Amino acid sequence: MLADLDQTVSEQKGFVLNDRVTMLRSLWRTELQCPEILPYQEGLVNTIKKALEAQQDSIDDAVSSQNELEYFTNVLYQTEIDQIRYSLTQYLRVRILKIERQLDYIAGDIHSLDQLATHEKNFVTRLNNLSQAFFEDALSSRLSPNCQDMFSRNEDRYQDSVPDFNAFVFCQALVDVGELNVGGERYASLSQGDILVVRYDKIREAIFEGKFQLL
């Protein structure tokens, strides 16, 4: 699920809710529930964007049609496109909000930075620079030297931005996982479709491998 996708989406007029759109909504839900930032799916996002643009052009060309049946058919297509565009927007929005919330952690963690798209990395750099400049101007420069030293050693902001890897999450197996350690000496045998409540750190690696989606 977390690997880039390279196949070409059909640009036929009847844009259907295919596997890619289903995957997008799964990625959105998983990103929303995941404590940390997950790999950006550039291949999937770009493919869906291109398909939406092609379908939108087709509908726009038919807007002036006097054929009543074709008009209402295009209204249905437009509704479906709007729903897919909403899912795509929400997926991107969830990532930006998570970056803002975990800025200090992500900016200093190579693994997290590797999960970002180029434009997201640029956003992290700009936002981090603005945050540092504001902190120095609004706080440090207006405090006594002793207080400035205290704030320079203060790690509260960083700690607040660290993901909670021990958080409990609802997950669903996308493949036959087999035996999974769910804590201590407890194991669960999971088949495709099984749902489990477990600490995130127990399935973290499997999430990145695409074996689970979060609910």
In the prediction, which pLDDT does 55 show?
82
In this structure, what token pair is assigned to residue 71?
């008009």
Of 194, 193, 192, 212, which Cα lies nearest the Cα of 202? 212
In the chain, which stretches have pLDDT less than 70?
Answer: 1-17, 62-66, 138-156
pTM of the full predicted structure?
A: 0.82
Structure confidence by residue, pLDDT tens digits, 93-131: 999 999 999 999 999 999 999 999 999 999 999 999 988
Q: Does residue 177 lie within any of the structural domains?
A: yes
In the prediction, which pLDDT does 156 show?
65
* Secondary structure of residue 195 in the 3-state scheme: strand
Segments forming the whole domain that contains residue 197: 164-215
Q: Does residue 185 lie within any of the structural domains?
A: yes
In the prediction, which pLDDT does 152 show?
56
Q: Does residue 17 lie within any of the structural domains?
A: no
In the prediction, which pLDDT does 76 show?
84
- CA 95: distance to chain centroid? 5
Yes or no: say if 39 and 2 are a contact pair by the CB < 8 Å rule: yes
How many helices (H) and strands (E) would you count in the chain?
9, 5
In the prediction, which pLDDT does 210 show?
93
Q: Does residue 36 lie within any of the structural domains?
A: no
CATH of the domain at 179: 3.40.5.60
Q: Does residue 134 lie within any of the structural domains?
A: no
**Residues whose CB is less than 8 angstroms from the CB of residue 209 and which lie 6 or more positions away in sequence, other chains included:** 2
In the prediction, which pLDDT does 10 show?
37
Cβ burial 184-212 (10 Å sphere, 16+ → b, else e): eeeebebeeeeebebebebbbebbbeebb
| Rg over CA atoms, the chain | 22
**Residues whose CB is less than 8 angstroms from the CB of residue 125 and which lie 6 or more positions away in sequence, other chains included:** 107
Q: Does residue 207 lie within any of the structural domains?
A: yes
In the prediction, which pLDDT does 77 show?
83
* Strand order from edge to edge, sheet including 168-173: 195-199, 168-173, 212-214
Q: Does residue 127 lie within any of the structural domains?
A: no
Q: Does residue 201 lie within any of the structural domains?
A: yes
Query: Domain total for the chain?
Result: 1
